[in-house]
């Protein structure tokens, strides 16, 4: 079977898309003979910022000469993006061979699409003879398939309200799920500036040595550079001034620098600068070029209020610096299980007009319903549109060269926009 056939098979074998629990994936992992994906393993959980943290860590460590592999989810355009080895996505052939090995040993154990994904990722990383493996938790932490691996360093980037049906409807409950990746006697980092007390309590109960952003390390943004500080084990505050601006959020970059302090690795200032400036990741406030229409265009995978707040801050800074002189026009399409009103509220002060659309996924909220929700909350809208392409066409007709067009609300919204712009280039 080719990769497309394997992916169809993995989606069809289990009756539920998501079924949290470690017993199935742990048993199949044992049958595969998996041990550890690398001598040094980092696990990253959090509501937002996971992908950026993984990308910067992988970029810096690769620039420092380490052989690094990563497992992330979801992908944007190609499934292969989920497994990267030495900064390159794995091939279709490698994934198909991995799926075949899993299928040969699982017997009558029915595993989910996400469990297949994690197992094939762990298998390919272990086969790659890495120095460092970085694993992104897909959902929660405690019961996510990634958590069958004991990490040398655990990172919780942020704690917000998302996936409440699975993780709980308060930050306190969600924090407990994310704390499940911590291990007794091992270092851990919390990048959230306001962590729930339940996370602190769980870290103490588990016996992890956790440090917290804003308390044990942090950053200060300058005009063209930034400063990072961290408290040593002896309690002395150390400062690193004049660092190059990262390609991604400073909040996550500060956590990455703290992680490098906690790990038994060495890196040069040049490797740090290269890794911070040029992490390999798409869809995070990413600028795109639409030469045909002359638009200023960005995409961002934000899909919950916490991420929307961070996105609003970026837009506000861009306006203040004069990078955005005209209107901000947002193409929005979202999954049906998200906080649509909360997402709008977080961004509404920065956005001038919303182009409400939908994508062809069963879990997508209809454009009509999303349009109704935003209108009820006072939004200035255009649409609803039946597709991202239809919304994009309308934006192209409306926007001036001073405007910013932003597509956001879901990984699928970003994927559809990236595909659309790529098609425009080939015409």
Q: Residue 400 and residue 293: Cα distance in Å, rounded? A: 10
Q: Which burial class, exposed, middle or buried, applies to 5 when counting CB atoms under 10 A from its CB (0-12, 13-18, 19+)?
A: exposed
Cα–Cα–Cα angle for 389, 391, 397, rounded to 5 degrees = 105
Residue corresponding to tokens 């979202």: 334
Q: What is the percentage of the chain residues whose pLDDT exceeds 70?
A: 98
Range from 31-40, 167-176, 213-222, 375-384 carrying the lowest mean pLDDT: 167-176
pLDDT score of 396 = 93
Q: Helix (H, G, I), strand (E, B), or coil: what is residue 215?
A: coil
For the chain, give the mean pLDDT.
Answer: 93
> Would the pLDDT of 62 be above 80?
yes
Token couple for 180: 């499940």
Give the strands of the sheet with 353-356, arranged side by side: 286-290, 295-300, 404-408, 328-332, 353-356, 381-382
Q: Residue 222 and residue 239: Cα distance in Å, rounded? A: 14
User: What Rg value do the Cα atoms of the chain yield, rounded?
Assistant: 21
> Would the pLDDT of 295 be above 90?
no
**Structure confidence by residue, pLDDT tens digits, 123-135:** 999 999 999 999 9
Q: Helix (H, G, I), strand (E, B), or coil: what is residue 191?
A: coil
Bigger pLDDT: 273 vs 422: 273
pLDDT score of 166 = 63
pLDDT band at 112 (very low <50, low <70, confident <90, very high): very high
pLDDT band at 105 (very low <50, low <70, confident <90, very high): very high
What does DSSP assign to residue 236?
-
Adjacent-strand bridge partners of 364: 335
User: Which residues have a Cβ under 8 Å from the Cβ of 67 and sit 6 or more positions away?
Assistant: 85, 86, 128, 129, 130, 131, 132
Contact in structure between 122 and 155 (CB atoms under 8 Å): no
pLDDT score of 223 = 82
Q: Residue 31 and residue 22: Cα distance in Å, rounded? A: 14
Instruction: Please report, for residues 281, 292, 298, 300, the alpha-carbon distance to residue 423 in angstroms, rounded to integers and kept in the order given.
Output: 20, 11, 16, 19
pLDDT score of 422 = 85
pLDDT band at 81 (very low <50, low <70, confident <90, very high): very high
Contact in structure between 285 and 311 (CB atoms under 8 Å): yes
Token couple for 201: 């309590």
Residue corresponding to tokens 């996924």: 361
Token couple for 8: 């169809």
Contact in structure between 154 and 191 (CB atoms under 8 Å): no
Instruction: Please report, for residues 58, 65, 296, the alpha-carbon distance to residue 402 in angstroms, rounded to integers and kept in the order given.
Output: 35, 42, 8
Look at the pTM and tell me if it is higher than 0.85: yes
Q: Pairing mode, if any, of strands 40-45 and 187-190?
A: unpaired
pLDDT score of 427 = 62
User: Which residues have a Cβ under 8 Å from the Cβ of 23 and sit 6 or more positions away?
Assistant: none
Average pLDDT of span 260-282: 93
Neighbours of 103 (CB within 10 A): 17
Q: Residue 314 and residue 358: Cα distance in Å, rounded? A: 25
- Structural domains of the chain, with CATH: 3-277 (3.40.1190.10), 286-426 (3.90.190.20)
pLDDT score of 164 = 64
Average pLDDT of span 306-310: 93
Bigger pLDDT: 89 vs 362: 89
User: Which residues have a Cβ under 8 Å from the Cβ of 160 and sit 6 or more positions away?
Assistant: 47, 48, 171, 174, 304, 305, 306, 307
Give the strands of the sheet with 153-156, arranged side by side: 88-89, 83-85, 68-71, 132-136, 40-45, 153-156, 187-190, 209-212
Q: Residue 18 and residue 297: Cα distance in Å, rounded? A: 34
Token couple for 123: 């298998």
Average pLDDT of span 274-296: 89
Average pLDDT of span 268-289: 92
Average pLDDT of span 88-115: 95
pLDDT score of 163 = 66
């Amino acid at each position: 079977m080719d990769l497309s056939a394997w992916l169809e098979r993995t989606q069809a074998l289990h009756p539920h898309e998501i079924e949290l629990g470690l017993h199935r994936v742990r048993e199949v992992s044992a049958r595969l003979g998996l041990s550890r994906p690398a001598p040094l393993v980092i696990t990253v959980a959090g509501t937002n910022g996971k992908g950026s943290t993984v990308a910067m860590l992988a970029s810096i460590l690769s620039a420092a000469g380490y052989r690094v592999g990563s497992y992330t989810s979801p992908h944007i355009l190609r499934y292969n993006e989920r497994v990267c080895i030495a900064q390159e996505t794995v091939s279709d052939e490698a994934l198909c061979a991995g799926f075949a090995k899993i299928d040969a040993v699982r017997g009558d154990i029915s595993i989910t699409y996400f469990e297949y994904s994690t197992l094939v990722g762990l298998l390919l990383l272990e086969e790659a003879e890495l120095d460092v493996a970085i694993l992104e938790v897909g959902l929660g932490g405690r019961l996510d398939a990634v958590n069958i691996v004991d990490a040398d360093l655990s990172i919780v980037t942020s704690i917000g309200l998302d996936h409440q049906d699975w993780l709980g409807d308060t930050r306190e409950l969600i924090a407990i799920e994310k704390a499940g990746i911590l291990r007794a006697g091992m270092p851990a980092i919390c990048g959230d500036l306001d962590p729930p007390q339940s996370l602190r309590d769980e870290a103490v109960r588990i016996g992890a040595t956790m440090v917290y952003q804003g308390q044990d390390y942090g950053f200060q943004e300058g005009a063209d550079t930034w400063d990072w500080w961290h408290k040593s084990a002896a309690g002395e505050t150390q400062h690193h001034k004049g660092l190059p601006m990262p390609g991604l959020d400073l909040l996550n970059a500060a956590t990455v620098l703290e992680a490098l302090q906690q790990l038994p690795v060495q890196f040069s200032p040049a490797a740090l600068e290269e890794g911070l400036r040029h992490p390999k990741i798409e869809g995070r406030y990413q600028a795109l070029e639409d030469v045909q229409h002359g638009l200023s265009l960005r995409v961002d995978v934000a899909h919950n209020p916490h991420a929307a707040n961070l996105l609003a801050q970026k837009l506000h800074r861009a306006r203040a610096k004069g990078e955005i002189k005209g209107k901000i026009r947002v193409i929005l399409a979202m999954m049906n299980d998200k906080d649509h009103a909360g997402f709008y509220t977080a961004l509404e002060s920065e956005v001038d007009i919303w182009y409400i659309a939908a994508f062809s996924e069963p879990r997508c909220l209809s454009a009509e319903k999303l349009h109704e929700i935003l209108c009820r909350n006072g939004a200035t809208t255009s649409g609803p549109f039946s597709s991202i392409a239809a919304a994009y066409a309308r934006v192209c007709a409306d926007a001036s060269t001073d405007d910013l067009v932003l597509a956001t609300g879901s990984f699928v919204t970003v994927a559809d926009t990236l595909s659309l712009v790529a098609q425009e280039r080939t015409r």
